[in-house]
Each structure stands twice: as structure tokens, then as C-alpha cells.
Structure 1
């Protein structure tokens, strides 16, 4: 009676030790989604434009330069808002900057990232910012998403410059993990 029970227990233990056909990283199993790079060209990356106000969709950092407020639109650029009347703020304009996630203001200068480039704007009149200087390759750029414990499609430089990442369904487990 004990032998069949022992035999069944050994089979159960050996079957529970069978590994999956797909490898997992850090114990994280692929759930059918991953991050896909969004590519741009060098020419598109260099296009910096001040345009009409845009609605806030995915706001990031906020910087106050009284009475103005600069609000980052993650990966897209910077909104300029006149907050002279806090009960009725006025969205003045939008600086379109591909790959913009960070900014700072010192004196009459707005500093913004444009992926690896550092842009310097003269904001002595915040209603009409002017690009004063571009410092190429001032910021190191990583070709992987800014998240941990995720699967992602490996970046390919021949497709262009990675300007962002989007989470999408994937039929196969990507080769890259972070």
C-alpha cells in the first residue's frame, strides 16, 4: 500500500519540476505584452517649434517661473501657461520638442532635453520663447524603456532613433528584458 503512494508522490514531484518552454527573467513570466520602441528620424528630432496651445494629455514635470507655469508633456514638449490670474490660467503656447521629459529654468533661460541634446531657450518674454542654443549629445541616452522587470523589443539603430516606448500586445516573447 505504501509503494503506490510513494510512487505517485515521486511522479507528482518530478512533474512539478518540469520547466516552462519559454524562459523567464527574474521569475517574471511573459504575459503577452511588452514595450515596443517608437522611432524617429534625425530630421524630425531637430524640428523644434513654438505653436498654438495644446491640451494637456500626459503631463510630467511642472516648473513655476512667476507668473508663468511650464508643464512638460511627456516625450512631446512644453506647455506655457500664464498664471497671472490663478482662477483663470491661460494656456499660451506649446513648444514641440520630441523626446522631452525634463526641464529647468534659471534666470531667463529654459533648459530642456531633446533626447540626447540639451536645448536652451531665451524666455525673457515667455509668451514668445526663442531657441538660443542646441548642445548636441549632452545627455546620455539608453535604448531601453525606463521601467524595470519588463519585456521589450530590442532597439534597432537602423530603424531610427528611439524617442519613446509603448506597451503593446506581442505574439512572441521578446528577447530583451530589463
Structure 2
């Protein structure tokens, strides 16, 4: 009986790949059903901007402050609505922030989780100008694919995964 267990254990272990533990040089997740959408670090760090309102693709969290509603378009940014007349919210702008899924606001300061970074910015509600005050890098864990795969390539940030 012990020999049988030992043989099964040996065959099980030979099917494992021990050689790649700790090796983060893989650029393409081999077994994933998803492809990573990435930006270079420079593109990622300069990607936040105010744009004209656009069509919502995948709505997520909603945040209300004063007369404004912020609706997250998952991993793309935030739609900003003027809710002065709460029976008729008016779409004003889109805050592009690739990789973002959540926001917190205090006064005119916005705190955004943008993929792996926490970004602090000021928003002028009058003319919708933004000023990035601080970027805290790697506060949040790297985004994994829905099937659990990681992607690592020097100077690249995963902002979302799409099915192959």
C-alpha cells in the first residue's frame, strides 16, 4: 500500500512545473483564456483626463457628492452628471482613468484607485479642470485575469483583461 501511494505521489509531482516558481519574466499568460490590456508606465501615469461625455459601457459603482453623481465605467473612468435637478440628471463630462474601479471624494479632492495606484486629484466643478496632486504607486495588487493568471512585463501596467 505504501509503495502504491509513493508511486502515485511521484507521478503527481513530475507533472508539476517547479522550474518557474518566482520567475516573473513571462510576458504572455500561457494558460489564460484572457488577454491583458496594458499601457506603458508613462502612458498609464499620464492617462487621466477630462473628456466630453460618452456612452457608458459597463456601469459599476455610483458616488454622489453635492449636486454631482459619479458613475464608474468599469476600468475606464467616471461619468460625471450634474444632479441639480434630481428628476433630470445631465451628463456633463467623462473623467478618463484607465484601470479605475472606485472613487472617494472629499470637497474638491478625488481619490481614485487606478489599477495599482492611488491617485489624488483636485477637480474644479465650474469648468471641470483637474490637477493631479499625488500618485501613490503600487498601493493596490496587480490585476489578475478572471482565471487567476498574472502578467508581468517591465514598464507595463495591466488595466483590464479581455476574453480571447
TM over 0.5: yes
Structure 2: give runs of 5+ residues left out of the alignment. Answer: 1-14, 17-30
Task: Provide Cα deviations, 1:114-166, integer angstroms capped at 9, x if missing partner.
Answer: 22222222235265142241223151322422x4xx364x4131482211111
Q: Which ranges of structure 1 fall in alignment gaps of 5 or more residues?
A: 1-21, 24-31, 169-178
Structure 1 residues 164 and 127, CA, compared in 2 at 3 Å: closer, same or farther? Answer: same
Aligned counterpart, 1:5 = none
How many residues are aligned here? Answer: 135
Q: Distance in 2 between matches of 1:167 and 1:105?
A: 33
Equivalent-residue separation in structure 1 for 2:155 and 2:37 (angstroms): 10
Cα separation, partners in 2 of 1:55 and 1:137, compared to 1, 3 Å:
same
Name the counterpart of 1:38: 37
Please give the secondary structure, in 2, of the residue aligned with 1:157: coil
Q: Deviations over 1:21-45 (max 9, x none)?
A: x99xxxxxxxx98222111111221
Scaled by the length of structure 1, the TM-score of the pair is 0.65
1:61 partner SS? strand
**With structure 2 as the length reference, what TM-score do the two structures score?**
0.70
CA RMSD of aligned residues (A): 2.5
Larger strand fraction of residues: 2
Which protein shows a greater Rg? 1
